[in-house]
A and B are shown apart, each in its own frame.
Chain A
Amino acid sequence: GENVGLHLPTLSVQEGDNSIINCAYSNSASDYFIWYKQESGKGPQFIIDIRSNMDKRQGQRVTVLLNKTVKHLSLQIAATQPGDSAVYFCAENRANSGYALNFGKGTSLLVTP
């Protein structure tokens, strides 16, 4: 079936450095992508989204890049802070559906002082 997956299960960065979390997707028909942050014991929290007619979108300290040619999505976090430590999921709208999201497996980001 279609797959949304993450390249690395864990990422450790020093406070103040930039973080890059990557995601590969296989459904070329997907046209909407979201990054979520999930802290322990909490629900996914929306970070940023991007539609397939864009290749870059910026938010506060975060940037999402979309490369449709290689079906790759990345989340860049600038000046990473301890509060950024969490599991990050990419998600795509499901194949042939606008209603639901297909989540990747998650990358655990650990920010060390």
Chain B
Amino acid sequence: EPEVTQTPSHQVTQMGQEVILRCVPISNHLYFYWYRQILGQKVEFLVSFYNNEISEKSEIFDDQFSVERPDGSNFTLKIRSTKLEDSAMYFCASSVGLNTEAFFGQGTRLTVV
């Protein structure tokens, strides 16, 4: 069964450092998303990406964040200068179309120390 894969599963980084979280969406999907989940809290939308550009972003997705689809398979989230409060699970998701089921990856646990 096709699935969204994310690497690494766990990333520890020092405050102020840059991190890149990687995702391989399901191959025939056209819409890509990043969400985050702070421990014990709900899943929060960060950004959506379609046709090689950002479709929508939340207030969380500030100038420290960027996304890229560097090739036909990968979808990355970059955090330029990490802060302690960026510590969370980051989930990548993809869907075939608008308002269709979004499939989530297993997540990357980011710990900023």
Which residue numbers of A lie inside 8 Å of B, CB to CB?
31-32, 34, 36, 42-46, 49, 51, 89, 91, 93-94, 97-106
Segment at the interface with A among B14-22, B62-70, B73-81, B104-112: B104-112
| Interface contact A101-B45, CB-CB below 8 Å | yes
**Alpha-carbon distance A105/B43, docked complex (angstroms):** 8
B27 within 8 A of A: no
Which of B43, B105, B106 is the most central at the interface, judged by chain A CB atoms within 10 Å of its CB?
Answer: B43
| Interface contact B42-A46, CB-CB below 8 Å | no
Residues on A with C-beta less than 8 A from B41 are: 105
CB distance from B44 to the nearest CB of A (A): 7
Number of chain B residues close to chain A: CB under 8 A: 25
CB distance from B109 to the nearest CB of A (A): 9
CB distance from A43 to the nearest CB of B (A): 4
Instruction: Give the residue of B42, B56, B101, B105 whose beta carbon is less than 8 angstroms from that of A100.
Output: B56
Instruction: Give the residue of B43, B56, B58, B99 whose beta carbon is less than 8 angstroms from that of A44.
Output: B43
Q: Mark B89-102, 1 if CB is under 8 A from A, else 0.
A: 00101000011011
What is the count of residue pairs linking A and B with beta-carbon distances less than 8 angstroms? 59
Which residue numbers of B lie inside 8 Å of A, CB to CB?
4, 31, 33, 35, 41-45, 48, 50, 55-56, 58, 91, 93, 98-99, 101-107
User: Can you give 22 contacting A-B residue pairs, CB < 8 Å?
Assistant: A43-B91, A43-B93, A43-B107, A44-B43, A46-B103, A46-B104, A97-B56, A98-B99, A99-B31, A99-B48, A99-B98, A100-B33, A100-B45, A100-B48, A100-B56, A100-B58, A101-B102, A102-B45, A103-B35, A103-B44, A104-B42, A106-B42
Closest chain B residue to A102 by CB distance?
B45
User: Given A43-B106, A97-B56 in contact, is the A103-B42 Cβ separation under 8 Å?
Assistant: yes
| Interface contact B107-A34, CB-CB below 8 Å | no
**Alpha-carbon distance A31/B98, docked complex (angstroms):** 12
Residues on B with C-beta less than 8 A from A32 are: 99
